Amino acid sequence: MTLRRPRPTSVALVALALPSALVLTACGSDDTTATDTGAATVTVETAQGPVEVPREPETVITYDIGVLDTIDTLGGEVAGVPEFAMPDYLSAYSDAPVVGSLFEPDFEAVAEIDPDLIIVTGRSLEAMPDLEEIAPTIDLSTDEADYLGSVERNVRSLATIIGEEDAAEDALADLQADVEETRAAGSEAGTGLIVMTSAGEVSAYGAGSRFGLVHDVLGVEPAVDIDSATHGEPVSFEFVAEADPDWLFVVDRDVAIGETSGESAEQVLDNDLVARTTAWSQDQVVQLDPMAWYIVSGGLTATATMVSDVADGLAS
């Protein structure tokens, strides 16, 4: 393992970092094009504080399907998307120009589009300094510790940018109502454990994690305390059996990334140890929409799906 070859990504990053570092030093000052356009700008909240961006930009590209989801839900348009198998409701973007992967920009494609605004999130955050060279770039990552709050902030920011504030407020009010209703059910449901299966292995997620919405917002009591870690904690089936949750919330990562090769989450969990849990024996296993929870999370429609996943699961 020590003599691992360099991953193509890191080579590419180094190759990119060199010239951009030169450009940075050459420019010296922060005079980006955004500030030049004076009156046509608007200040919005981002994950990195308030930022001034162009108002109603003509071409927006994003590396986040959640952002795409929100813009699409609000009635806006996106000119460039990451290469990814889009969920059905975003299938209109299946043929949209591709500007890279979820993680990495394809700078030539970006230059081709010459966007007015670029939106990155956690997965693509590393590319932000390079993208800023091309166009105003904002970070609309969601905050795992305050998922709903950050989603609302991002929805409002995007609405302001594309000029759809009213639609956003309506949607957020609906979402809020759903959340309240589900929280009432959630806080009486008993204990829950969130697990993600990937390539036959299981990780557990707790409050404050990327799937923490279940506990933090929707009020389901965690069956065990789990340190919040983005990639969850790899656990054995014994851990699941020992946690003995009343409800098991399952994200099938293989499905989320369009990788249906291995065992489905159901097959992975269908074993003698998980069978010991209250959740399994009472048939209280909630399959969460992997696309919404793992990929599009943070988006307006995806968040509504996430809430209704839990609501429907608890109701069944």
Partner 1 sequence: MTATTPSPPPAPSPAVRRARRGRWGAAAPLLLGASVVAALALLSLFVGVSDVSPAALLRGDSDAWELVAVSRGPRTTALVLAGVSLSIAGLIMQVLVRNRFVDPSTAGTVDSATLGLVVVMLYAPGLPLIAKAGVASVFALAGTGVFLALLSRMPLRSPVMVPLVGLMFGGVVGAASSFVAYRFDLVQSLLAWTTADFSGILRGRYELLWVAGVLAVVAWVVADRFTIAGLGAEVATGLGVDHRRVLMTGLVVVALVSAVVVTTAGVIPFLGLVVPNVVRLFLGDHVRRSIPWVALVGAGFVLVCDVLGRTLRHPYEIPLGVVVGVVGSVVFLVLLLKGSSRVG
Tell me which residues touch partner 1 (CB under 8 A).
1-5, 7-9, 83-84, 101-102, 198-202, 204, 233-239, 241-242, 254, 257-262, 268, 271-273
Q: Which is nearer to partner 1, 19 or 258 (CB)?
A: 258
User: In the sheet where 117-120 sits, what is the strand order?
Assistant: 60-62, 117-120, 137-139
Residue 212: name the closest of 199, 198, 193, 197 by CA.
193
Q: Which is nearer to partner 1, 54 or 232 (CB)?
A: 232
| Shortest distance, position 219 Cβ to partner 1, whole Å | 25
Residue 148: name the closest of 7, 300, 43, 308 by CA.
300
Place of tokens 């697990």: 195
Q: Which is nearer to partner 1, 129 or 200 (CB)?
A: 200
| Shortest distance, position 297 Cβ to partner 1, whole Å | 16
Q: Which is nearer to partner 1, 81 or 134 (CB)?
A: 81
Q: Which is nearer to partner 1, 43 or 94 (CB)?
A: 94
| Shortest distance, position 16 Cβ to partner 1, whole Å | 16
| Shortest distance, position 8 Cβ to partner 1, whole Å | 6
Asked if residues 124 and 63 have their Cβ atoms less than 8 Å apart, the reply is yes
What is the biggest distance separating any 2 CA atoms in the chain, rounded to whole angstroms?
A: 65
| Shortest distance, position 196 Cβ to partner 1, whole Å | 11
| Alpha carbons 31 and 22: distance in angstroms, whole number | 16
Token pair for 132: 């800023």
Q: Which is nearer to partner 1, 211 or 307 (CB)?
A: 211
Q: Which is nearer to partner 1, 101 or 308 (CB)?
A: 101
Task: For Cα atoms 104, 292, 163, give the angle at the middle one, nearest 5 degrees.
Answer: 75
Q: Which is nearer to partner 1, 187 or 236 (CB)?
A: 236
| Shortest distance, position 127 Cβ to partner 1, whole Å | 16
| Shortest distance, position 253 Cβ to partner 1, whole Å | 8
| Alpha carbons 223 and 157: distance in angstroms, whole number | 35
Asked if residues 250 and 287 have their Cβ atoms less than 8 Å apart, the reply is yes
Residue 158: name the closest of 63, 34, 67, 51 by CA.
67
| Shortest distance, position 21 Cβ to partner 1, whole Å | 25
Asked if residues 293 and 227 have their Cβ atoms less than 8 Å apart, the reply is no
